[in-house]
């Protein structure tokens, strides 16, 4: 399985763990275009933080790379990597590539 698919699979497993806490009508969809921030998102700030932590753990378990997603770099970006599942996946792929090339 390539890195992109592994990253998305890790995010989707983290989504599953958050969805357990949400009512059926507030479930987070497992699709790249699913919003994680803003009015369109079903997540409040606490659940977003929990999702980010769960994603970090899934990436570490699956890909063997330890990442800190919510750091100064992410928070200072013009467009947040936490906008959608797809933007988060892309950001994670960049971080993994940097970590492996360091």
pLDDT in tens, 5-59: 999 999 999 999 999 999 999 999 999 999 999 999 999 999 999 999 999 999 9
- Tokens 């590539």 map to which residue? 97
Which CATH number does the domain housing residue 73 bear? 1.10.1200.10
The pLDDT, as a whole number, for residue 102 is 75
Predicted TM-score (pTM) of the model is: 0.94
Burial label, 2 (beta-carbon count in 10 A; 0-12, 13-18, 19+): exposed
In the chain, the number of structural domains is 1
Residue-number span of the structural domain to which 7 is assigned: 3-101
């Amino acid at each position: 399985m390539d890195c992109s698919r592994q990253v998305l699979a890790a995010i989707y497993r983290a989504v599953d763990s958050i969805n357990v806490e949400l009512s059926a009508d507030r479930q987070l969809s497992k699709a790249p275009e699913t919003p994680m921030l803003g009015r369109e998102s079903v997540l409040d700030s606490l659940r977003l933080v929990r999702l980010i932590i769960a994603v970090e753990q899934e990436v570490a378990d699956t890909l063997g790379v330890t990442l800190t997603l919510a750091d100064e770099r992410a928070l200072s970006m013009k467009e947040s990597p936490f906008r959608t599942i797809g933007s988060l996946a892309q950001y994670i792929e960049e971080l993994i590539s940097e970590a492996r090339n360091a």
